[in-house]
Amino acid sequence: MSAAEQFTDPDDAPLYVARKEVYPQAVSGVFRTIKWTVLCVTLGIYYFLPFVRWYRGPNAPDQAVLIDFPSRRFYFFFIEIWPQEFYYVTGLLVLAALVLFLMNAVAGRVWCGYLCPQTVWTDLFYAVERLIEGDRRERMKKDDGPWSVEHAAQKVLKHSIWLMIAWWTGGAWVLYFADAPTIVRELATFSAPAAAYIWIGILTATTYVFAGHMREQVCLYMCPWPRIQAALTDEHALNVMYRYDRGEPRMSLKKSEQAKAAALPAGDCIDCNQCVAVCPTGVDIRHGAQLGCIQCGLCIDACDNVMAKVGRPSGLIGYDTDANAKRREELLEPVYKIIRPRTVLYAGLIVAIGTLMLATLLGRASLGITALHDRNPIFVKLADGSVRNAYTVRLTNKSQEERVYRLELVGLPDGARIEAVGTHPSGERAVLVEVGHDRTRELRVLVTLPKGGDAASLPLAFRLIDISTGAQASVDDFFKGTGS
């Protein structure tokens, strides 16, 4: 390195690399079929799930999946989540992360290659592009050459279809936040809330820009997952790999025949570059595992097709592990270790957290009670010398019918009374209270102690009993007397 180079100001180095347009070529094969299937299933779920109905009773919405912000409820088939139960969503995210880790430990970037929305929508946009503008070579030629009316018309058509898909994508999103058939009608008649149009606009824009224009750059520059997964993988994880031991030295078909005739080494790779041509991120898998490789398996299909044509065994590119790559070089049999400490740990955590969530979800009570002791004043002395404490009690009825609850005072010496405005007395120590379906009711509960109110603090509990089912909930609190 010369002195001049050494002192070159690093600030002068460009931080931006111009994008190389990627023109992935169409390919058919096992992995392409898997990708089409996943694309149809995932997009089908996304676009049509809001229209699935799920009957929950006359008072609740009948949409299977609904995030109901105005009434603060989240419905997912048989599950109804209240805002204070948002930790279930946290649990779901923890589960999702662990599933990603497990997928990564077993078979690398399964998420990136097949399931990620960026991959799925980009794949769909590429399909539209191919349908209208033709395959790789045609498109490269057209983009390189001068503009023609036909080319311009194709571009307009392509972008129009892209925008329509993007618009449908944004449209489907808002259907999850309101009754789908209703909001579709409202959208069509321009009577939907402004927020619906704004969100459709935002998601149309992001879909169009991400899937139509940014494509692999999202994976290369924006997404943190490739970086994280690099830390999660190990030598036993299956990854899309090129078999160096078989492929090298690569050379054309003709040369390899000459080499073989001369008893020189010749690999199976004929350097046809088909694996690069079909790659949606434009990488060369023969350079090994890399950030840009989303492991979609399309190069496997391309290579297998070529190998079949030239009469060589398939699998020159395929799912393999780092450990096996080493073993093959040492001429050892490959070993596959799916069951390893890390996969067992991930799977165990998934099962444990899933079971815990399911158990708490199924064991949820349909009623609930919380109590907040008045602080100001902490106690009140009444004219007859008795002492009273007031509590703000909130009763929750998660069922879809109005329920009558019995609110009981537990603890405290004899003579203690419970009262609450708007309820019906049921003896000295209980009141009956109606709570409407799927809602809470706040009560001001007064507890009066005629004698013994000079104690500093006495424990008590409020017990709530659903008269129709016998279900119970209770909350502990204190009675504060005049003593200090």
Partner 1 sequence: MSAQHEHFDRVTGKTTTGHEWDGIRELNNPLPRWWLMVFYVCIAWTPIYMIAPYVLPSNRITNIFFSFPTRSEIETDIAALRATRGESMVQLASADPAAIIGDPKLLGVARALGKAAFGTNCAPCHGQGAQGAKAYPNLNDDQWLWGGTLADIKQTITHGIRNENPESRVGQMPAFGRDGLLPKADIPHVAAYVRTLSGRTTEGAYDLKKGATLFSENCAACHGDAGKGNSDVGAPNLTADIWLYGGDMNAIVETVTNGRGGVMPGWASRLDEATVNALTVYVHTLGGGR
- Which residues form the interface with partner 1 (CB under 8 A)? 374-377, 380-385, 388, 390, 421-422, 434, 441-442, 444, 446
CB 267 within 8 A of CB 248: yes
CB 117 within 8 A of CB 38: no
CB 345 within 8 A of CB 446: no
Say which amino acid occupies 123: D
- Closest to partner 1 by CB, 380 vs 475, is 380
CA distances for 393 relative to 367, 411, 444, angstroms = 13, 17, 6
- Closest to partner 1 by CB, 131 vs 198, is 198
Residue 446 CB, shortest distance to partner 1, in Å, is 5
Distance from the Cα of residue 481 to its chain's centroid: 52
- Closest to partner 1 by CB, 376 vs 484, is 376
Residue 378 CB, shortest distance to partner 1, in Å, is 9
Q: What distance in Å separates the CA atoms of residue 83 and residue 30, rounded to the nearest whole number?
A: 44
- Closest to partner 1 by CB, 390 vs 409, is 390
- Closest to partner 1 by CB, 428 vs 442, is 442
Residue 59 CB, shortest distance to partner 1, in Å, is 16
Residue 23 CB, shortest distance to partner 1, in Å, is 36
Say which amino acid occupies 84: Q
- Closest to partner 1 by CB, 377 vs 415, is 377
To 5 degrees, how large is the angle CA 287–CA 288–CA 292?
85
- Closest to partner 1 by CB, 141 vs 444, is 444
Residue 425 CB, shortest distance to partner 1, in Å, is 14
**In the chain, helix, strand, coil percent, each to 5?**
45, 20, 35
Residue 389 CB, shortest distance to partner 1, in Å, is 9
- Closest to partner 1 by CB, 340 vs 373, is 373
CB 480 within 8 A of CB 456: yes
Residue 444 CB, shortest distance to partner 1, in Å, is 6
- Closest to partner 1 by CB, 165 vs 395, is 395
CA distances for 241 relative to 113, 158, 315, 317, 321, angstroms = 14, 34, 10, 6, 8
Residue 476 CB, shortest distance to partner 1, in Å, is 22
The secondary structure of 396-419, three-state, reads EECCCCCEEEEEEEEECCCCCEEE
- Closest to partner 1 by CB, 310 vs 382, is 382
Residue 420 CB, shortest distance to partner 1, in Å, is 9
Structural Rg of the chain based on CA atoms? 33
Q: What distance in Å separates the CA atoms of residue 317 and residue 338, rounded to the nearest whole number?
A: 20
- Closest to partner 1 by CB, 42 vs 440, is 440
Instruction: Count other Cβ atoms within 10 Å, centred on residue 137.
Output: 11
Q: Which two tokens stand for residue 388?
A: 């009273």
- Closest to partner 1 by CB, 9 vs 144, is 9
CB 163 within 8 A of CB 201: no
Region of residue 196 (left: phi > 0; alpha: psi -120 to 50; beta: else): alpha
Distance from the Cα of residue 230 to its chain's centroid: 20
Residue 381 CB, shortest distance to partner 1, in Å, is 6
Distant-in-sequence contacts of 232-235, Cβ < 8 A, 24+ apart: 232/101, 232/104, 232/105, 233/104, 233/105, 233/108, 234/105, 234/322, 234/340, 234/342, 235/321, 235/322, 235/323, 235/326
Residue 439 CB, shortest distance to partner 1, in Å, is 11
| φ and ψ at residue 473, rounded to 5 degrees | -150, 150
CB 116 within 8 A of CB 43: no
